[in-house]
Amino acid sequence: MKYFILFGPPGAGKGTQATAMVEKYNLRHISTGELLRKEIAAGSELGLKAKSLIDAGALVPDEIVEGMIESEFRTVKGVNGFLLDGFPRTAAQAEALDKMLSKTSEEVTSVVSIMIPDEMIRERIKHRASIEGRADDASDETITNRIKTYHGKTEPLVEYYKKKGKYSEIDGTGTIEEVREKIFALMDRF
């Protein structure tokens, strides 16, 4: 089983590329937000816990999110692996993922990081905001905060995975097709 992690700042094209990655390599895309919504809709024990926390305005703790991901790993069949998007976000979550996978003698296959310069993040988010009519996403202050949050949260994880020899960076400044070709060339090695 392969376990890929998708990194990239807002506007890097993760959503667009994830769809192609999942199709080409027969992977199950695991988005933490999507998982939470699915578990809540199903009324599972984890979903009920998450719903009560969300309804109270609290963040869902790592253990609940990790439990949902582990459940996906155990129950999803007929795929060649998983593409994690939005997890891990912290070093503690990365360590928890390593422990989770070690239970079945597995490990993260590779981190695929789609990188674009901060100025391009600004341009793409503003463009997306105008197309989707999302005024909240168009303010410079919001965009600056999203960029700062991404760098602050992700850079420790980049180092974590570089030390393990699992980190690969893709230049995301080209066309969708050019970036996709680079991603596929990387993933074909695994």
Angle between helical axes of 140-163 and 91-102 (0-180°, round to 10) = 40
Distance CA 12, CA 134 (A): 18
Among residues 2, 126, 128, 166, the one annotated as catalytic is 128
The Cβ of residue 21 has, within 10 Å, a number of other Cβ atoms equal to 21
Is 28 designated active site? Answer: no
Among residues 51, 89, 122, 126, the one annotated as catalytic is 89
Is 37 designated active site? Answer: no
Distance CA 41, CA 136 (A): 28
Is 146 designated active site? Answer: yes
Among residues 2, 122, 126, 146, the one annotated as catalytic is 146
Contacts (Cβ under 8 Å, ≥6 apart) of 142: 136
Is 182 designated active site? Answer: no
Omega of the bond leading into 88 within 30 degrees of 0 (cis)? yes
Q: Return the structure tokens found at 85.
A: 């998007």
User: C-alpha angle 29/31/35, rounded to 5°?
Assistant: 105
How far CA 174 is from CA of 12, 41, 119, 180, in Å, comes to 10, 38, 14, 9
Among residues 24, 99, 103, 134, the one annotated as catalytic is 134
Is 134 designated active site? Answer: yes
Active-site positions read 14, 89, 128, 134, 146
